[in-house]
Amino acid sequence: MAGGGDLTLPASKPSFGNDQRIDAATRRPRGRPAGSKNKPKTPIIITRDSANALKAHAMEVTSGCDLSESLINFARKKQRGVCVLNATGCVTNVALRQPSSSGSIVTLHGRFEILSLLGSILPPPAPPGVTGLTVYLAGAQGQVVGGNVVGALIASGPVMIMAATFMNATFDRLPLDEDDEVNVAVVNQRHVSEVYGIPQNLITNVNLPAEGYSWPSGRASAKSK
């Protein structure tokens, strides 16, 4: 230009078109590729029940059969403990031990509807006092009577029993002594065997396989003071 002035060109704006195209080409697309599938997972096959698992049972007792004897035979043959939750149906000619200080036995003649049936049945060998049934009955006149079942409990018509069964039960003596240590399992087993006369080979820990019922010891019994 005239006058010898410098020629200043306007600064050109940067172009992002090429960069954006490069980024779009190199950027990993979001989401899963078309046609992709999950890797097949190895199937989990359970070949045996856990020794500590509970099973729910609905048991029908035929008319004329003894409920107590039927449950005892079931526990012995299956080698499972039975926890009776409830029952529906009727029974006849029941002998009950009343929940009183005298513990008198009352024999009821006739047909009675089951209002409640609770208890536990364990296969042998089991400590005494942990097996038994408690029943509450309603008579024809609306009277309600209950107590511990003594002897037979004969079904009058079909009786449905709801129960849960288990493989292992741990014996614990309460109250627990806080000074007891966990590593006295061998002493515990010897104590339970001496008290209840259970053979040593039948006292095992709770990790017993599902082939046999166990009665393992729990924590140490309270120390004598």
Q: pLDDT at position 194, please?
A: 42
Residues 146 and 179 both lie in one domain = no
Residue 1 placed within a domain: no
Residues of the domain holding 88:
55-166
What's the domain count of the chain?
A: 2
Q: pLDDT at position 102, please?
A: 72
End position of a domain, from candidates 122, 140, 166: 166
Residues 171 and 219 both lie in one domain = yes
Residues 63 and 102 both lie in one domain = yes
Cβ burial 196-205 (10 Å sphere, 16+ → b, else e): eebeeeebbe
Looking at the predicted structure, is the pLDDT value of residue 165 above 80?
Answer: yes
Task: Please tell me the least confidently modeled range out of 29-33, 36-40, 196-200, 212-216.
Answer: 196-200
Q: pLDDT at position 191, please?
A: 45
50-54: average pLDDT: 77
Confidence of residue 30 (pLDDT cuts 50, 70, 90): confident
Residue 119 placed within a domain: yes
Most confident of 24-38, 87-101, 173-187: 87-101
Residues 89 and 73 both lie in one domain = yes
Residue 77 placed within a domain: yes
Residue 9 placed within a domain: no
